[in-house]
């Protein structure tokens, strides 16, 4: 006798199956939980901590939000593709040549690493030091110039989180790899490719930033996400590159029609002092939390 | 080095999608994993990933969520296989008694759950996707990363195995047969 179900038996079984599985109501906390986790993920991406182990992120509680700084400009006057291609090649070459440097990034924050908003009238900033050679990354948050949070590898080789206001610190096993570069990182090749394809163009020259003469580049670059696939939420970016070194000195992002979220870059030569910036120092007298 | 920033709030369209589809997707997750709590966990993780890719997937979010659910469920099943004792008693009936107080219905559901538990992960996937999400063979194949022929084969075997289990249980076990009537 055949064991294959007949169509009638099959549809009856499917009906029984459907009737037998209960309707399940999602928990009422589903959407609030999603809102909270989503906001946290976006904030973590901005500080480059999204690639850290989940448990570590929870323990660290890092969150920082960036600050918009003004209305969007009108559509930029794009200059010739040839100019853009030349600059792109120079930028790509410059970034490749800086592969031993310590890159210092700084940006404003509106939410502290502990998740509370920066109070009105106070000023929050985040600094990241990134080894272009090894990928080692050290991040520090400041409130009104005072250090409130510090994380990265310490001299002991352990991943260390320092809570300066309470003079305490936590240590974790070395994850064995450095956190990935902040989410949305663009390589020199990607910038060059984008500029050649017309996605990034020169929109201004001789802009002065921190005493440096810069070229302004505007466009929408499409970064890769954690899985290496194209990110769906690419947004317009603006870069300023030094007219002499061709290294980026600032980047801004357009969100909700406003340019802002400035990130400033300093390219530090690999001296002993600058290499030391990559390491967390546990303050003398700090108590280790368990 | 070059940070990119997105909005910090969920898209309104995504929230609407969650409101409309989360109950059905939770049932699919439950079919895939056989545990109410794990199903909720899977669904929340899948929806979070969807929210992070909303601009790319908002045209067909169901397909993306289902794909993520299937992958997450496979990961969980692999974990269970590494730690089988922890889940041995958790897989079956208790999760299905939620919200049901009619004795016959409960027994039927318990039998069905026990039957589902005899299926392989791939067989559960085809049942969840084809008969609860009402997907075509082609769409099911795309989500599972399998050929249409494989999907048909899994479907046939799953239904056959389930039919045999339910029939066998109903007649072989007189105690349970009494409850089923």
Please give the C-alpha separations between residue B157 and each of B117, B122, B128, B152, in angstroms, as whole numbers: 14, 11, 14, 9
Instruction: Provide the ipTM.
Output: 0.70
Chain B residues whose beta carbon lies within 8 Å of the beta carbon of residue A39: 8-9
Are A283 and A164 in contact by the 8 Å Cβ rule? The answer is yes
**Mean pLDDT, all residues of chain A:** 71
Contact A41 B48 (CB under 8 A): yes
B20 shares contact with chain A (CB less than 8 Å):
no
In chain B, residues 118-177 whose CB comes closer than 8 Å to chain A: 127, 131-132, 156, 159-160, 162-164, 166
Predicted local distance difference test score (pLDDT) of residue B22: 92
Contact B1 A105 (CB under 8 A): yes
Contact A21 B2 (CB under 8 A): no
Least confident of A47-61, A93-107, A241-255, B111-125: A47-61
Contact A3 B55 (CB under 8 A): no
| Residue among B5, B48, B156 minimizing CB distance to A34 | B48
Residue of chain B minimizing CA distance to A23: B27
Contact B112 A16 (CB under 8 A): yes
Gap between the Cα atoms of A106 and A123, Å rounded: 13
Gap between the Cα atoms of A180 and A178, Å rounded: 6
Contact B96 A14 (CB under 8 A): no
Pairing outcome for strands A137-143 and A236-242: unpaired
How confident is the model over A206-218, as pLDDT tens digits?
889 989 999 998 8
CA pseudo-torsion sign A272, A278, A279, A281 = positive
Interface contacts A/B by beta carbons within 8 Å: 168
How confident is the model over A35-45, as pLDDT tens digits?
888 877 776 55
DSSP 3-state assignment of A196? helix
Cβ neighbours of B7 (radius 10 Å) = 14
The shortest C-alpha distance from B81 to chain A (Å) reads 23
Contact B127 A17 (CB under 8 A): yes
Stated as kind and residue range, the H or E segment containing A103 is strand A102-109
In chain B, residues 59-118 whose CB comes closer than 8 Å to chain A: 96, 98-100, 108-109, 111-112
Stated as kind and residue range, the H or E segment containing B71 is helix B61-82
Quickly state the pLDDT bin for A2 (edges 50, 70, 90).
very low
Contact B109 A21 (CB under 8 A): yes
Quickly state the pLDDT bin for A256 (edges 50, 70, 90).
low
Contact A13 B30 (CB under 8 A): no
Chain B residues whose beta carbon lies within 8 Å of the beta carbon of residue A3: 160, 164
Are A128 and A134 in contact by the 8 Å Cβ rule? The answer is no
B3 shares contact with chain A (CB less than 8 Å):
yes
Block mean pLDDT (10 aa), chain B, length 181:
52 90 90 82 90 85 90 75 37 30 47 72 87 87 86 86 65 33 32
How confident is the model over A9-34, as pLDDT tens digits?
567 777 777 777 767 788 888 988 88
Contact A37 B44 (CB under 8 A): yes
Which tokens hold the place of B81? 């296989």
Are B18 and B58 in contact by the 8 Å Cβ rule? The answer is no
Gap between the Cα atoms of A67 and A125, Å rounded: 10
Pairing outcome for strands A68-71 and A124-131: unpaired
Gap between the Cα atoms of A209 and A239, Å rounded: 11
| Residue among A33, A230, A255 minimizing CB distance to B44 | A33
**Burial class, A180, CB count within 10 angstroms (exposed 0-12 / middle 13-18 / buried 19+):** middle
Q: For residue B74, give every residue at least 6 positions away whose Cβ sits within 8 Å of its Cβ, in sequence order, or none.
A: B121
Asked if residue A102 has pLDDT above 70, the reply is: yes
Gap between the Cα atoms of A234 and B3, Å rounded: 11
Chain A residues whose beta carbon lies within 8 Å of the beta carbon of residue B27: 21-24
Are A46 and A59 in contact by the 8 Å Cβ rule? The answer is no
Quickly state the pLDDT bin for A128 (edges 50, 70, 90).
confident
Residue of chain B minimizing CA distance to A234: B4
More confident residue, A230 or B40: B40
Contact B30 A24 (CB under 8 A): yes
């Amino acid at each position: 006798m055949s064991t294959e179900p007949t169509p009638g038996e099959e549809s009856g079984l499917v009906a029984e199956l459907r009737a037998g599985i209960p309707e399940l109501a999602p928990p009422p906390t589903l959407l609030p939980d999603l809102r909270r986790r989503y906001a946290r993920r976006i904030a973590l991406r901005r500080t480059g901590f999204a690639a850290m182990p989940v448990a570590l992120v929870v323990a660290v509680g890092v969150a920082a939000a960036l600050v918009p700084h003004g209305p969007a400009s009108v559509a930029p006057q794009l200059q010739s593709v040839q100019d853009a291609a030349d600059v792109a090649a120079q930028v790509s070459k410059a970034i490749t040549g800086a592969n031993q440097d310590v890159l210092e990034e700084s940006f404003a924050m509106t939410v502290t690493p502990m998740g509370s908003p920066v109070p009105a009238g106070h000023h929050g900033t985040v600094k990241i030091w990134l080894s272009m050679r090894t990928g080692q990354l050290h991040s520090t948050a400041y409130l009104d110039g005072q250090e409130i949070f510090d994380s990265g590898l310490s001299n002991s080789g352990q991943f260390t989180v320092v809570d300066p206001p309470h003079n305490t610190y936590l240590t974790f096993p070395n994850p064995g790899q450095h956190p990935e570069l902040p989410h949305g990182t663009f390589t020199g090749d990607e910038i060059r490719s984008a500029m050649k394809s017309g996605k990034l163009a020169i929109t201004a020259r001789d802009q002065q930033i921190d005493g440096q003469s810069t070229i302004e580049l505007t466009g929408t670059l499409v970064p890769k996400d954690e899985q290496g696939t194209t990110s769906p939420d690419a947004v317009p970016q603006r870069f300023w590159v030094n007219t002499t070194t061709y290294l980026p000195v600032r980047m801004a992002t357009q969100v909700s029609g406003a340019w802002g979220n400035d990130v400033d870059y300093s390219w530090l030569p690999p001296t002993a002092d600058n290499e030391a910036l990559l390491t967390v120092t546990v303050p003398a007298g700090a108590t280790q939390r368990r | 080095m070059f940070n990119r920033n997105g909005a910090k709030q969920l898209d309104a369209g995504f929230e609407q999608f969650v409101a409309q589809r989360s109950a059905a997707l939770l049932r699919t997750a439950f079919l895939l994993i056989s545990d109410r709590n794990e199903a909720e966990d899977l669904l929340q993780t899948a929806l979070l990933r969807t929210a992070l890719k909303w601009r790319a997937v908002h045209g067909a979010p169901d397909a993306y969520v289902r794909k993520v659910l299937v992958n997450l469920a496979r990961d969980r099943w692999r974990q269970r296989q590494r730690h089988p004792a922890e889940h041995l008693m958790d897989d079956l009936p208790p999760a299905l008694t939620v919200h049901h107080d009619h004795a016959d219905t409960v027994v039927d559901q318990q039998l069905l759950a026990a039957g589902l538990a005899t299926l392989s992960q791939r067989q559960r996937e085809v049942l969840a996707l084809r008969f609860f999400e009402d997907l075509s063979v082609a769409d099911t194949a795309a989500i599972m990363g399998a050929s249409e022929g494989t999907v048909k084969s899994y479907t046939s075997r799953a239904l056959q195995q389930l039919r045999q289990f339910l029939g066998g249980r109903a007649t072989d076990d007189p105690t349970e047969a009494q409850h089923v009537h």
